Every structure is written in structure tokens, then in C-alpha cells.
Copies of this chain bind each other. A is one copy, B any other.
């Protein structure tokens, strides 16, 4: 029951964040195909953020599926993650509207880094509750992807000041890394 409600609340927040981001795609005033052109960077940043939020939802789903229980500490670690995810619409809009300009692109990386750290913290909190011998701890193993992602983001943020496309490339690379759902936590098809 408790776990279910935390999942439902997180689903709600993530679903709303995804759809709020799409509000930045203001329908253009003209009805010409060319009026869509200025929307291209906004659209691309939306696609990137949609995929990243999709990854978070997916991994969150697998993580909670594997968790045995939650407590107040986990609820707050989860709210902490949701806080950083809630800054995605802002970060996405700022980067998209400024055509991936240097500072907004670096700022987007800061949001990504904070969210990745918050996810890591949530995972640690759940594992601590489940115990080091739990199926979850075993399934996560060394958690290479979880450790590499923040490192790549940490590189990407200053890299924007050299060339912002390095940063964007790194953001995309991390997304691709995670695109495959976390097979460690997905042992077999899950029944309803």
C-alpha cells in the first residue's frame, strides 16, 4: 500500500512534468511550414528531456518493483528526486529557447547532475532499508551506469564553455547508456 502510493505520486509528478514541457512548444502564429523552423531547438530539447524523464520513470519503476518496503526516509529521498526532476521544464525551456547557448546548456547539465545524484541517493536509501543481502542489492551489483552518469555530467557542465555541443553530446550519450532498461532489475516478465 505504502509503496503503491509513493509510486502513484511519482508517476503523477513525472507525467505532469513531461506534459508541462510540451507547453513550451507554442503553436506558431502563421500557418506556414516555415513558422515551425524556429521551434526546432525547442522541439529537440523537448525530445531529449522526454527521453531522460522516460528513463527515470522506467528505472524508478524497476527500482520500486524490486524494493521490499519503504519508510519515511525513502519518501523524502523520493521527494528530493522529484524536486530536481521538477526543474526539467525550466532547464529544457531555457536551453531550447536560447538555441543551446552556452550558459543554459551548462545549467541544463546542472539539473541533470542533481537529478542523477538524487536518484543515486534514493537507490542507496532503499538498499539500506532492504539490507545488503537483499535481491535488490545483488541485482544492482556495482552499479556502473549509476556511477558513470554523474561523472559524465560533471565533465559536460564545464565543457559547455569550450564547446556546447560536447555537452549536448554527453547528455545524449548518457541517455543512450540508460535507454536499455536496467536489466539487472528485470529478471522476467512481470505479471499484473
Residues of A within 8 A of B (CB): 1-9, 11-20, 22-23, 25, 27-33, 36, 47, 50, 54, 57-58, 61-62, 65, 68-72, 75-76, 79, 82-83, 86-87, 89-90, 93-94, 97-98, 101-104, 107, 129, 179-183, 186, 189-192
Contact = CB atoms under 8 A, between A and B. Distances in A.
Contacts of A87: 22, 25
B191 A2 contact: yes
A64 to B, nearest CB: 8
A14 B9 contact: yes
Contact of A50 (B12, B83, B104, B129): B83
Identical subunits present: 4
Contacts of A103: 31-33
B189 A70 contact: yes
A82 B22 CA distance: 12
B22 A89 contact: yes
A180 B17 CA distance: 26
B58 A90 contact: no
B22 A90 contact: yes
B18 A15 contact: no
B18 A19 contact: no
Given A12-B16, A22-B87, 7 more contacts: A5-B11, A19-B20, A27-B90, A29-B97, A32-B103, A58-B79, A71-B189
Nearest to A61: B5
25 contacts: A2-B61, A2-B190, A2-B191, A7-B8, A8-B8, A9-B14, A12-B12, A12-B16, A20-B22, A20-B23, A23-B89, A28-B94, A30-B98, A31-B104, A33-B103, A50-B83, A54-B79, A62-B72, A68-B189, A69-B189, A69-B190, A69-B192, A70-B189, A71-B186, A71-B190
Contacts of A15: 9, 12-13, 16
